A and B are shown apart, each in its own frame.
Chain A
């Protein structure tokens, strides 16, 4: 499923909010993402995750280094074209509402792209169905609940059909059922349209389903590998529940295996 084509190439990226201060929010980070990959970005608050997300869509300008999306280097001139390929869902959906009704809001990006009305109508309906907000199409987004707002914000990006979707903790206000449904919707979309997903998250169960995890700490990427390798070697990171259980059992003197375990492995071991 993961093609060999590189979709995102970040090279030596450095960023400071305040040039008078020495502290770099991101210091010389480099990584690349292949088309169709699912990447989780984890790390403490203040480690630079959201800043990275904003840099990737050109909302912030790097001090140094380059970002290349689908072969085009991101700069003032190219950022409008690049934003057709990459969509960002913010952590707080309030930050991105403009429409007076749910359907207007989802249609906003399409209108800007001169999508024909009939086509647009259909796309908006589909996007709202994907997030199960179609019955709220005529409501004022500001009067929705937190989780509903978050779903509308996600629909706005899905309608745009970008190659890359960046989710900056876009699921935090969702109830577990909606969260799982949206995750499986995204998985299907990835299979159907081969989209690339970058999800900034604190939920380690969510991170564990990614192809790769980037662990950020104080503006640098300290680890870039599979969930298994990350949770095996990184003891600082809050591990997924089965791994936490394994560590606790080991502490209590049980003879559990000494290496990282997924839930299935843990259940099999306990059932042996």
Chain B
């Protein structure tokens, strides 16, 4: 499902209190089945952009098209939002803080049952979802609050996956997980993206994750989209990355340091450790 932002401007104005604009004229078209990483300084508007995708933040100007639904400033129709929210799955920062039910099963079933799915069917999907995120079925009867942070995160993600979203929007899903847990969650997201063709939008600060999982990168700065490029092209332009004060993936960073200090040129842009190992052996440095 395609997500298309057209001239989107938004702020968090409530009543008479004005806040600064959080998004300024964002134009961005993310094709169906793409995997896009959104990066940028804290406060650049990344999370706000995600919120406009399912109407949690309505635009002040412009519109957002999600599939054949359109979110506009004057949107009054609950029907549109309902459709949008059914197709856009949203995983917030620290999603485990939204767990509330007595058991994991009730928590996961909450979403589908709100959208009119029968209890039996919801339970069946809950079982699939919990296995999908790599937990055991036995967890379903446990209280979500007896689980560890990493397990809670998985339960929260299962609660989103159970809705079978066409678009999955994730705000730093790996934050606070141990390296292994983080890798598992992201590998899972990548797998779901590939096997189900879910359009995936991932906010992250970790350039290694960008290099490993995403196809395209969006850079946001002060509420604007300043670039939108395929991953490989993006990490090629070191000068520009530096200007945005963005990091490089570890492999690329070490490659550049080596190229300078050893005065060699590796045959290609190395984004992962395996790229780097292969390139080092190829040129005979290691």
- Chain A residues with a Cβ under 8 A of chain B: 43-46, 50, 91-92, 94, 143-148, 150-151, 169, 172-179, 202, 204, 238, 241-242, 244-245, 248-249, 252, 254, 256, 263, 266-267, 270-271
Contacts and interface: CB of A to CB of B under 8 A. Distances in A.
B11 to A, nearest CB: 10
Contacts of B80: none
A176 B39 CA distance: 11
A224 B181 CA distance: 23
Nearest to A178: B42
B97 A270 contact: no
Nearest to A169: B176
Contacts of B46: 145
Most buried by A among B44, B171, B250: B250
Contacts of A204: 179
Given A44-B180, A202-B176, A254-B281, 12 more contacts: A44-B178, A146-B42, A146-B93, A173-B175, A173-B205, A174-B205, A204-B179, A241-B254, A245-B276, A267-B262, A270-B280, A270-B286
A148 B285 CA distance: 43
B257 A267 contact: yes
A267 to B, nearest CB: 6
A73 B285 CA distance: 56
Interface in B41-69: 41-44, 46-48
Contact of A178 (B19, B41, B94): B41
B109 to A, nearest CB: 25
Contacts, number: 121
A45 B177 contact: yes
Contacts of A169: 176
Contact of A175 (B42, B148, B175, B251): B42
A147 to B, nearest CB: 3
**Residue from A147, A151, A177, A252 whose CB has the most chain B CB atoms within 10 Å:** A147
Contact of B178 (A43, A146, A248, A267): A43
Given A46-B150, A270-B258, A271-B258, A173 B172 contact: yes
Interface size class of B (residues with CB under 8 A): 35 or more
A239 to B, nearest CB: 10
Nearest to B179: A238
A44 B182 CA distance: 11
A146 B262 CA distance: 40
A175 B205 contact: yes
B205 A46 contact: no
Contacts of B276: 245
B136 interface: no
Contact of A249 (B148, B178, B261, B286): B286
Interface string B126-157: 00000000000000000000001111000000
B262 A270 contact: yes
Contacts of A173: 42, 93, 172, 175, 205
Interface in B224-258: 245-247, 250-251, 254, 257-258
A177 B41 contact: yes
Nearest to B278: A252
A50 B177 CA distance: 12
B274 interface: yes
A267 B177 contact: no
B180 A238 contact: yes
Given A46-B150, A146-B47, A146-B172, A176 B246 contact: yes
A271 B263 CA distance: 9
A177 B254 contact: no
Nearest to A145: B43
Contacts of B180: 44, 238
Nearest to B205: A175
B89 interface: no
Nearest to B247: A176
Contacts of B176: 91-92, 169, 172, 202
